[in-house]
Structure 1
Amino acid sequence: MVPKLFTSRLYPKIEHPFLEKMILPSFLIFSLLSSISKAAVQDFCVADLTGPDTPSGFACKKPAKVTVDDFVFSGLGAGGNTSNIIKAVLTTAFADKFGGINGLGISVARLDMAVGGVVPMHTHPGGSEVLIVISGTICAGFISLENRVYFKSLKKGDIMVFPQGLIHFQINTGRLPALAFVSFSSERPGLQILDFALFANDLPSEIVEQTTFLDDAQVKKLKGVLGGTG
Protein backbone atom coordinates (compact mmCIF):
# COMPACT_ATOMS: atom_id res chain seq x y z
CA MET A 1 0.00 0.00 0.00
CA VAL A 2 1.38 3.38 -0.98
CA PRO A 3 1.49 5.75 2.03
CA LYS A 4 -0.56 8.92 1.75
CA LEU A 5 1.92 11.75 1.39
CA PHE A 6 -0.26 14.72 0.64
CA THR A 7 -3.51 15.88 2.17
CA SER A 8 -4.15 18.65 -0.36
CA ARG A 9 -3.20 19.36 -3.95
CA LEU A 10 -2.45 23.00 -3.15
CA TYR A 11 -0.92 22.62 0.29
CA PRO A 12 0.95 19.32 0.54
CA LYS A 13 1.61 17.89 3.97
CA ILE A 14 4.48 15.45 4.38
CA GLU A 15 3.66 12.56 6.68
CA HIS A 16 6.66 10.27 6.14
CA PRO A 17 9.45 11.27 8.63
CA PHE A 18 12.33 10.30 6.31
CA LEU A 19 10.89 12.23 3.38
CA GLU A 20 10.21 15.16 5.65
CA LYS A 21 13.95 15.45 6.32
CA MET A 22 15.04 14.85 2.73
CA ILE A 23 12.58 16.72 0.54
CA LEU A 24 13.87 20.25 1.22
CA PRO A 25 17.57 19.48 0.46
CA SER A 26 16.46 17.48 -2.58
CA PHE A 27 14.33 20.35 -3.78
CA LEU A 28 17.23 22.79 -3.41
CA ILE A 29 19.56 20.48 -5.32
CA PHE A 30 16.96 20.02 -8.06
CA SER A 31 16.47 23.80 -8.31
CA LEU A 32 20.21 24.36 -8.58
CA LEU A 33 20.58 21.73 -11.29
CA SER A 34 17.62 23.19 -13.14
CA SER A 35 19.14 26.67 -13.12
CA ILE A 36 22.46 25.31 -14.35
CA SER A 37 20.83 23.34 -17.14
CA LYS A 38 18.96 26.43 -18.29
CA ALA A 39 22.11 28.57 -18.24
CA ALA A 40 24.21 26.01 -20.06
CA VAL A 41 22.23 25.84 -23.28
CA GLN A 42 25.18 24.10 -24.92
CA ASP A 43 28.40 22.53 -23.70
CA PHE A 44 30.70 25.14 -25.27
CA CYS A 45 31.01 27.77 -27.95
CA VAL A 46 34.43 27.42 -29.55
CA ALA A 47 35.19 30.69 -31.31
CA ASP A 48 35.31 30.52 -35.09
CA LEU A 49 38.54 32.48 -35.48
CA THR A 50 38.27 32.36 -39.27
CA GLY A 51 35.20 34.59 -39.12
CA PRO A 52 34.86 38.29 -38.24
CA ASP A 53 35.46 39.61 -34.75
CA THR A 54 32.27 41.54 -34.05
CA PRO A 55 31.31 43.75 -31.06
CA SER A 56 29.47 40.72 -29.65
CA GLY A 57 32.45 38.44 -30.22
CA PHE A 58 33.16 35.54 -32.52
CA ALA A 59 30.51 33.20 -33.85
CA CYS A 60 30.54 29.63 -32.55
CA LYS A 61 32.33 27.03 -34.62
CA LYS A 62 30.02 24.30 -35.85
CA PRO A 63 30.18 21.36 -33.39
CA ALA A 64 31.03 18.94 -36.20
CA LYS A 65 34.20 20.92 -36.89
CA VAL A 66 35.34 21.14 -33.25
CA THR A 67 38.36 19.01 -32.32
CA VAL A 68 40.38 18.47 -29.17
CA ASP A 69 42.96 20.93 -30.50
CA ASP A 70 40.41 23.72 -30.01
CA PHE A 71 40.74 23.14 -26.26
CA VAL A 72 44.55 23.08 -26.17
CA PHE A 73 46.87 26.10 -26.35
CA SER A 74 50.62 25.67 -26.67
CA GLY A 75 51.74 29.29 -26.90
CA LEU A 76 52.89 29.87 -23.32
CA GLY A 77 55.81 27.45 -23.18
CA ALA A 78 58.44 29.85 -24.50
CA GLY A 79 59.40 33.24 -23.14
CA GLY A 80 58.37 36.39 -24.97
CA ASN A 81 60.67 39.07 -26.35
CA THR A 82 61.40 41.64 -23.64
CA SER A 83 63.50 43.85 -25.92
CA ASN A 84 61.14 46.80 -25.71
CA ILE A 85 60.80 50.05 -23.80
CA ILE A 86 59.22 48.45 -20.72
CA LYS A 87 61.47 45.34 -20.78
CA ALA A 88 58.44 43.14 -20.30
CA VAL A 89 55.97 41.24 -22.46
CA LEU A 90 52.60 39.62 -21.87
CA THR A 91 51.89 36.56 -24.03
CA THR A 92 48.12 36.02 -23.98
CA ALA A 93 45.80 33.08 -24.41
CA PHE A 94 42.63 35.10 -24.85
CA ALA A 95 39.61 34.09 -26.93
CA ASP A 96 41.00 35.77 -30.05
CA LYS A 97 43.85 33.23 -30.00
CA PHE A 98 42.42 30.36 -27.96
CA GLY A 99 38.95 29.63 -29.31
CA GLY A 100 38.16 26.92 -26.77
CA ILE A 101 37.74 29.38 -23.89
CA ASN A 102 35.21 31.49 -25.74
CA GLY A 103 32.20 32.11 -23.51
CA LEU A 104 33.72 30.41 -20.46
CA GLY A 105 34.76 33.59 -18.62
CA ILE A 106 38.40 32.54 -18.16
CA SER A 107 41.77 33.16 -19.81
CA VAL A 108 45.47 32.97 -19.03
CA ALA A 109 48.69 34.71 -20.00
CA ARG A 110 52.44 34.55 -19.47
CA LEU A 111 54.36 37.54 -18.14
CA ASP A 112 58.09 37.73 -18.85
CA MET A 113 60.10 40.57 -17.28
CA ALA A 114 63.76 41.33 -17.90
CA VAL A 115 65.89 42.87 -15.16
CA GLY A 116 64.43 46.30 -14.54
CA GLY A 117 61.28 45.40 -16.45
CA VAL A 118 58.01 47.09 -15.57
CA VAL A 119 54.39 46.80 -16.56
CA PRO A 120 53.23 50.42 -16.08
CA MET A 121 49.96 51.39 -14.45
CA HIS A 122 47.21 49.63 -16.39
CA THR A 123 43.74 48.18 -16.14
CA HIS A 124 41.80 45.18 -17.41
CA PRO A 125 38.24 46.49 -17.85
CA GLY A 126 36.81 43.05 -18.54
CA GLY A 127 37.95 40.95 -15.62
CA SER A 128 39.82 40.45 -12.37
CA GLU A 129 43.38 39.09 -12.44
CA VAL A 130 45.28 36.52 -10.40
CA LEU A 131 49.09 36.55 -10.69
CA ILE A 132 51.39 33.73 -9.55
CA VAL A 133 55.14 34.26 -9.52
CA ILE A 134 57.11 31.37 -11.00
CA SER A 135 60.61 32.83 -10.64
CA GLY A 136 62.26 36.10 -9.71
CA THR A 137 61.01 38.95 -7.55
CA ILE A 138 58.10 41.15 -8.60
CA CYS A 139 56.79 44.19 -6.78
CA ALA A 140 53.08 44.36 -7.60
CA GLY A 141 50.18 46.44 -6.42
CA PHE A 142 46.91 48.19 -7.20
CA ILE A 143 45.05 51.37 -6.28
CA SER A 144 41.49 51.25 -4.97
CA LEU A 145 38.73 53.66 -5.95
CA GLU A 146 39.44 55.47 -2.66
CA ASN A 147 43.06 55.95 -3.86
CA ARG A 148 44.38 53.55 -1.25
CA VAL A 149 47.46 51.67 -2.43
CA TYR A 150 48.03 47.94 -1.88
CA PHE A 151 51.44 46.66 -2.95
CA LYS A 152 53.97 44.01 -1.94
CA SER A 153 57.18 42.32 -3.06
CA LEU A 154 56.29 38.87 -4.38
CA LYS A 155 58.60 35.87 -4.65
CA LYS A 156 58.36 32.40 -6.19
CA GLY A 157 55.03 30.79 -5.35
CA ASP A 158 53.36 34.00 -4.18
CA ILE A 159 49.93 34.86 -5.57
CA MET A 160 48.25 38.25 -5.76
CA VAL A 161 44.80 39.24 -6.98
CA PHE A 162 43.90 42.48 -8.76
CA PRO A 163 40.18 43.37 -8.67
CA GLN A 164 38.48 44.10 -11.96
CA GLY A 165 38.98 47.55 -13.43
CA LEU A 166 41.43 48.84 -10.81
CA ILE A 167 44.75 50.40 -11.85
CA HIS A 168 47.67 48.10 -11.05
CA PHE A 169 51.33 47.49 -11.91
CA GLN A 170 54.23 45.01 -11.77
CA ILE A 171 57.97 45.74 -11.49
CA ASN A 172 60.87 43.30 -11.61
CA THR A 173 62.86 44.38 -8.56
CA GLY A 174 65.25 41.43 -8.56
CA ARG A 175 68.63 40.83 -10.14
CA LEU A 176 67.37 38.13 -12.50
CA PRO A 177 64.59 37.90 -15.08
CA ALA A 178 61.16 37.23 -13.61
CA LEU A 179 58.40 34.95 -14.83
CA ALA A 180 54.77 34.90 -13.79
CA PHE A 181 51.54 33.40 -15.07
CA VAL A 182 48.27 35.27 -14.79
CA SER A 183 44.65 34.21 -15.08
CA PHE A 184 41.61 36.38 -15.70
CA SER A 185 37.90 36.07 -14.96
CA SER A 186 37.13 36.83 -18.59
CA GLU A 187 38.05 35.30 -21.93
CA ARG A 188 38.75 38.83 -23.19
CA PRO A 189 39.76 40.99 -20.18
CA GLY A 190 41.23 43.80 -22.28
CA LEU A 191 44.32 45.83 -21.47
CA GLN A 192 44.87 49.58 -21.30
CA ILE A 193 48.25 50.92 -20.19
CA LEU A 194 47.92 54.42 -18.75
CA ASP A 195 51.20 55.76 -20.15
CA PHE A 196 50.35 54.65 -23.68
CA ALA A 197 46.81 55.97 -23.38
CA LEU A 198 48.20 59.42 -22.55
CA PHE A 199 51.33 59.68 -24.66
CA ALA A 200 51.20 57.14 -27.51
CA ASN A 201 48.43 58.77 -29.56
CA ASP A 202 47.53 62.06 -31.23
CA LEU A 203 45.81 63.68 -28.26
CA PRO A 204 46.96 67.32 -28.35
CA SER A 205 49.77 68.05 -25.90
CA GLU A 206 47.83 71.02 -24.50
CA ILE A 207 45.02 68.74 -23.34
CA VAL A 208 47.46 66.25 -21.81
CA GLU A 209 49.20 69.08 -19.95
CA GLN A 210 45.94 70.48 -18.61
CA THR A 211 44.64 67.11 -17.45
CA THR A 212 47.89 65.76 -15.97
CA PHE A 213 49.52 68.97 -14.64
CA LEU A 214 52.71 68.09 -16.53
CA ASP A 215 54.66 70.81 -18.29
CA ASP A 216 55.02 71.05 -22.06
CA ALA A 217 58.58 69.73 -22.15
CA GLN A 218 57.68 66.59 -20.16
CA VAL A 219 54.64 65.83 -22.28
CA LYS A 220 56.50 66.22 -25.56
CA LYS A 221 59.39 64.13 -24.26
CA LEU A 222 57.04 61.29 -23.30
CA LYS A 223 55.19 61.55 -26.60
CA GLY A 224 58.51 61.30 -28.39
CA VAL A 225 59.56 58.24 -26.41
CA LEU A 226 56.25 56.40 -26.82
CA GLY A 227 55.53 57.43 -30.40
CA GLY A 228 52.74 59.92 -29.85
CA THR A 229 52.09 63.06 -31.88
CA GLY A 230 50.43 66.42 -31.31
Structure 2
Amino acid sequence: MSSKVSIMAKNELVVALVLSLSLFGFTSAGDPDILTDFVVPPNVNISNIDGNFFTFTGMRSILGSNPPTAFTVTKASAKEFPALEGQSVSFAVLQFPASSVNPPHTHPRGSELLFLIYGSLQVGFVDTTNKLFTQTLQAGDMFIFPKGLVHFQYNFNQTDSAVAVSAFGSASAGLVSVPVAVFETNIDDGILAKSFNTNVTTIQALKAGLAPPPTKP
Protein backbone atom coordinates (compact mmCIF):
# COMPACT_ATOMS: atom_id res chain seq x y z
CA MET A 1 0.00 0.00 0.00
CA SER A 2 2.78 2.41 0.91
CA SER A 3 4.58 1.98 -2.41
CA LYS A 4 1.38 2.54 -4.35
CA VAL A 5 0.69 5.78 -2.50
CA SER A 6 4.27 6.95 -3.10
CA ILE A 7 3.93 6.38 -6.84
CA MET A 8 0.61 8.19 -6.81
CA ALA A 9 2.07 11.07 -4.82
CA LYS A 10 4.87 11.58 -7.33
CA ASN A 11 2.70 11.42 -10.42
CA GLU A 12 -1.08 11.69 -10.02
CA LEU A 13 -0.95 14.24 -7.20
CA VAL A 14 1.00 16.65 -9.40
CA VAL A 15 -1.67 16.35 -12.08
CA ALA A 16 -4.36 16.81 -9.45
CA LEU A 17 -2.79 19.98 -8.13
CA VAL A 18 -2.75 21.50 -11.61
CA LEU A 19 -6.34 20.47 -12.27
CA SER A 20 -7.58 21.80 -8.94
CA LEU A 21 -5.86 25.12 -9.51
CA SER A 22 -7.67 25.40 -12.83
CA LEU A 23 -10.97 24.97 -10.96
CA PHE A 24 -10.42 27.97 -8.69
CA GLY A 25 -12.34 30.20 -11.07
CA PHE A 26 -15.38 27.96 -10.63
CA THR A 27 -15.29 28.12 -6.85
CA SER A 28 -14.24 31.73 -6.34
CA ALA A 29 -17.00 34.08 -5.34
CA GLY A 30 -16.88 34.15 -1.58
CA ASP A 31 -14.56 37.04 -0.69
CA PRO A 32 -15.03 40.79 -1.30
CA ASP A 33 -13.30 42.24 -4.36
CA ILE A 34 -10.04 44.06 -3.71
CA LEU A 35 -8.99 47.35 -5.30
CA THR A 36 -5.36 46.37 -5.85
CA ASP A 37 -3.67 43.62 -7.83
CA PHE A 38 -2.88 41.74 -4.63
CA VAL A 39 -2.81 42.27 -0.87
CA VAL A 40 0.46 42.59 1.04
CA PRO A 41 0.45 42.03 4.81
CA PRO A 42 1.29 45.16 6.86
CA ASN A 43 4.52 43.62 8.14
CA VAL A 44 5.90 43.08 4.62
CA ASN A 45 7.71 45.81 2.67
CA ILE A 46 6.01 45.94 -0.73
CA SER A 47 9.24 47.08 -2.38
CA ASN A 48 10.78 43.72 -1.44
CA ILE A 49 8.00 41.61 -2.96
CA ASP A 50 9.21 39.03 -5.49
CA GLY A 51 8.17 35.60 -6.74
CA ASN A 52 8.75 34.06 -3.33
CA PHE A 53 5.73 35.90 -1.95
CA PHE A 54 3.49 34.15 -4.49
CA THR A 55 5.01 30.70 -3.90
CA PHE A 56 3.80 28.14 -1.36
CA THR A 57 6.06 25.17 -0.62
CA GLY A 58 4.06 23.57 2.18
CA MET A 59 2.83 20.70 -0.02
CA ARG A 60 6.32 19.41 -0.84
CA SER A 61 6.40 17.12 2.17
CA ILE A 62 3.39 15.19 0.83
CA LEU A 63 5.09 14.06 -2.35
CA GLY A 64 6.75 10.68 -1.88
CA SER A 65 5.90 10.52 1.82
CA ASN A 66 4.42 7.53 3.61
CA PRO A 67 0.67 7.70 4.20
CA PRO A 68 -0.32 9.15 7.60
CA THR A 69 -1.79 6.99 10.35
CA ALA A 70 -4.67 9.42 11.02
CA PHE A 71 -6.82 11.65 8.83
CA THR A 72 -4.63 14.59 7.84
CA VAL A 73 -5.35 17.92 6.13
CA THR A 74 -2.57 20.03 4.65
CA LYS A 75 -3.95 23.51 3.98
CA ALA A 76 -2.95 26.45 1.83
CA SER A 77 -5.29 29.19 3.01
CA ALA A 78 -4.54 32.85 3.63
CA LYS A 79 -3.22 31.93 7.08
CA GLU A 80 -0.54 29.62 5.66
CA PHE A 81 -0.10 31.44 2.33
CA PRO A 82 -0.63 35.22 2.78
CA ALA A 83 -0.55 35.91 -0.97
CA LEU A 84 -4.03 34.34 -1.16
CA GLU A 85 -5.55 37.22 0.82
CA GLY A 86 -8.20 38.86 -1.36
CA GLN A 87 -7.93 36.26 -4.13
CA SER A 88 -11.05 34.22 -3.17
CA VAL A 89 -9.20 30.90 -3.44
CA SER A 90 -7.56 28.36 -1.15
CA PHE A 91 -6.55 24.74 -1.30
CA ALA A 92 -6.13 21.60 0.80
CA VAL A 93 -4.84 18.05 0.45
CA LEU A 94 -6.84 15.47 2.43
CA GLN A 95 -5.20 12.15 3.33
CA PHE A 96 -7.43 9.34 4.62
CA PRO A 97 -5.95 6.17 6.14
CA ALA A 98 -8.13 3.06 5.89
CA SER A 99 -11.44 3.40 7.77
CA SER A 100 -10.87 7.07 8.65
CA VAL A 101 -13.39 9.90 8.58
CA ASN A 102 -13.43 13.65 8.22
CA PRO A 103 -16.28 14.30 10.71
CA PRO A 104 -19.31 16.47 9.87
CA HIS A 105 -18.27 20.11 9.55
CA THR A 106 -18.99 23.31 7.64
CA HIS A 107 -17.02 25.98 5.80
CA PRO A 108 -19.02 29.15 6.50
CA ARG A 109 -17.23 31.37 3.99
CA GLY A 110 -16.64 29.18 0.94
CA SER A 111 -17.87 26.26 -1.15
CA GLU A 112 -15.60 23.22 -1.50
CA LEU A 113 -14.88 21.35 -4.73
CA LEU A 114 -13.29 17.99 -3.88
CA PHE A 115 -11.35 15.92 -6.43
CA LEU A 116 -10.52 12.33 -5.43
CA ILE A 117 -7.19 11.26 -6.84
CA TYR A 118 -6.62 7.94 -5.08
CA GLY A 119 -8.84 5.37 -3.39
CA SER A 120 -12.56 5.70 -2.74
CA LEU A 121 -14.66 7.88 -0.43
CA GLN A 122 -18.23 8.09 0.77
CA VAL A 123 -19.17 11.76 0.90
CA GLY A 124 -22.29 13.72 1.66
CA PHE A 125 -23.90 16.97 2.79
CA VAL A 126 -27.17 18.05 4.38
CA ASP A 127 -29.11 21.00 2.95
CA THR A 128 -31.27 23.52 4.82
CA THR A 129 -34.33 21.25 4.49
CA ASN A 130 -32.37 18.49 6.29
CA LYS A 131 -32.15 16.40 3.11
CA LEU A 132 -29.02 14.25 2.90
CA PHE A 133 -27.15 13.99 -0.40
CA THR A 134 -24.54 11.21 -0.55
CA GLN A 135 -22.25 9.69 -3.14
CA THR A 136 -19.54 7.05 -3.34
CA LEU A 137 -16.57 8.52 -5.19
CA GLN A 138 -13.91 6.69 -7.13
CA ALA A 139 -10.54 8.09 -8.19
CA GLY A 140 -11.09 10.79 -10.80
CA ASP A 141 -14.50 11.87 -9.45
CA MET A 142 -15.37 15.34 -8.15
CA PHE A 143 -18.02 16.45 -5.65
CA ILE A 144 -19.17 19.94 -4.66
CA PHE A 145 -20.04 20.86 -1.08
CA PRO A 146 -22.14 24.06 -1.10
CA LYS A 147 -20.99 26.90 1.12
CA GLY A 148 -22.01 26.69 4.75
CA LEU A 149 -23.68 23.27 4.62
CA VAL A 150 -22.75 20.41 6.95
CA HIS A 151 -20.77 17.74 5.11
CA PHE A 152 -18.41 14.80 5.65
CA GLN A 153 -16.01 12.38 3.93
CA TYR A 154 -15.42 8.75 4.93
CA ASN A 155 -12.88 6.25 3.65
CA PHE A 156 -14.89 3.03 4.03
CA ASN A 157 -12.06 0.88 2.65
CA GLN A 158 -10.74 -1.34 5.45
CA THR A 159 -7.24 -1.82 3.99
CA ASP A 160 -6.32 1.01 1.63
CA SER A 161 -5.92 4.76 1.98
CA ALA A 162 -7.46 7.59 -0.04
CA VAL A 163 -6.19 11.01 -1.08
CA ALA A 164 -8.23 13.99 -2.25
CA VAL A 165 -7.58 17.63 -3.06
CA SER A 166 -10.07 20.42 -2.39
CA ALA A 167 -10.39 23.91 -3.83
CA PHE A 168 -12.33 26.50 -1.81
CA GLY A 169 -14.15 29.62 -2.97
CA SER A 170 -12.51 31.75 -0.30
CA ALA A 171 -8.99 32.52 0.87
CA SER A 172 -10.27 31.81 4.39
CA ALA A 173 -13.19 29.40 4.06
CA GLY A 174 -13.25 28.70 7.79
CA LEU A 175 -14.00 25.44 9.55
CA VAL A 176 -16.71 24.61 12.09
CA SER A 177 -16.46 21.01 13.32
CA VAL A 178 -19.91 19.83 14.42
CA PRO A 179 -18.66 17.48 17.19
CA VAL A 180 -16.30 20.12 18.54
CA ALA A 181 -18.82 22.97 18.29
CA VAL A 182 -21.48 20.97 20.09
CA PHE A 183 -19.54 19.02 22.71
CA GLU A 184 -16.29 20.89 23.31
CA THR A 185 -17.36 24.53 23.68
CA ASN A 186 -18.74 24.48 27.24
CA ILE A 187 -22.41 24.45 26.27
CA ASP A 188 -24.24 23.42 29.42
CA ASP A 189 -24.77 19.66 29.68
CA GLY A 190 -28.41 20.21 30.64
CA ILE A 191 -29.05 22.23 27.49
CA LEU A 192 -27.41 19.55 25.35
CA ALA A 193 -29.40 16.81 27.08
CA LYS A 194 -32.68 18.60 26.31
CA SER A 195 -31.57 19.39 22.75
CA PHE A 196 -30.76 15.73 22.01
CA ASN A 197 -33.69 14.37 24.05
CA THR A 198 -31.36 12.39 26.30
CA ASN A 199 -29.82 12.74 29.76
CA VAL A 200 -26.76 14.46 31.18
CA THR A 201 -24.99 11.13 31.76
CA THR A 202 -25.16 10.34 28.04
CA ILE A 203 -23.90 13.81 27.11
CA GLN A 204 -20.96 13.47 29.49
CA ALA A 205 -20.15 10.04 28.05
CA LEU A 206 -20.10 11.54 24.56
CA LYS A 207 -17.82 14.32 25.71
CA ALA A 208 -15.49 11.81 27.35
CA GLY A 209 -15.33 9.84 24.12
CA LEU A 210 -14.26 12.94 22.19
CA ALA A 211 -11.54 13.90 24.66
CA PRO A 212 -8.00 12.81 23.74
CA PRO A 213 -6.53 10.04 25.91
CA PRO A 214 -4.33 11.26 28.77
CA THR A 215 -0.64 11.37 27.99
CA LYS A 216 1.58 8.91 29.80
CA PRO A 217 4.22 10.40 32.13
TM class by shorter chain equals 0.7 to 0.9
Cα deviations by residue, 1:19-71 (Å, 9 ceiling, x for unpaired): xxxxxxxxxxxxxxxxxxxx6632111335xx5xxxxxxxxx43212121111
Aligned to 1:222: 206
Aligned to 2:134: 151
Matches within 5 A, 1:16-95: 41-48=35-42, 51=43, 61-79=44-62, 82-83=68-69, 87-95=70-78
- The answer to whether the Cα contact below 8 Å between 2:102 and 2:152 also exists between their aligned partners in 1 is yes
The Cα shift of 1:118 comes to: 0.5
1:134 is aligned, of 114, 117, 140, to 117
Q: Does residue 1:118 correspond to 2:101, yes or no?
A: yes
More relative contact order in 1 or in 2 (CA 8 Å, sep 6+)? 2
- TM-score normalized with structure 2 length: 0.75
Matches within 5 A, 1:165-184: 165-174=148-157, 175-184=159-168
2: CA distance between counterparts of 1:76 and 1:179? Answer: 13
Aligned to 1:187: 171
- The answer to whether the Cα contact below 8 Å between 1:201 and 1:227 also exists between their aligned partners in 2 is no
Give the root-mean-square deviation of aligned CA atoms: 2.0
The Cα shift of 1:82 comes to: 4.8
Q: Could you list the runs of 5+ residues in structure 1 that have no partner in the other structure?
A: 1-38, 52-60
Aligned to 1:98: 81
Aligned to 2:9: none
Question: Which amino acid in structure 2 is aligned with residue 183 of structure 1?
Answer: A
2: CA distance between counterparts of 1:115 and 1:217? Answer: 32
- The answer to whether the Cα contact below 8 Å between 2:96 and 2:162 also exists between their aligned partners in 1 is yes
- The answer to whether the Cα contact below 8 Å between 1:140 and 1:153 also exists between their aligned partners in 2 is yes
2: CA distance between counterparts of 1:123 and 1:108? Answer: 15
Of residues 91-100 and 201-210 in structure 1, the stretch that sits farther from structure 2 once superposed is 201-210
- The answer to whether the Cα contact below 8 Å between 1:47 and 1:95 also exists between their aligned partners in 2 is no
Question: Which amino acid in structure 1 is aligned with residue 199 of structure 2?
Answer: D
The Cα shift of 1:76 comes to: 2.0
Aligned to 2:21: none
- The answer to whether the Cα contact below 8 Å between 1:124 and 1:165 also exists between their aligned partners in 2 is yes
The Cα shift of 1:134 comes to: 1.1
Work out the percentage of aligned pairs sharing the same amino acid. 30
Cα deviations by residue, 1:72-115 (Å, 9 ceiling, x for unpaired): 112123349855xxx31211111011011110000001111111
Aligned to 2:185: 201
- The answer to whether the Cα contact below 8 Å between 2:117 and 2:163 also exists between their aligned partners in 1 is yes
- The answer to whether the Cα contact below 8 Å between 2:111 and 2:145 also exists between their aligned partners in 1 is yes
- The answer to whether the Cα contact below 8 Å between 2:34 and 2:86 also exists between their aligned partners in 1 is no
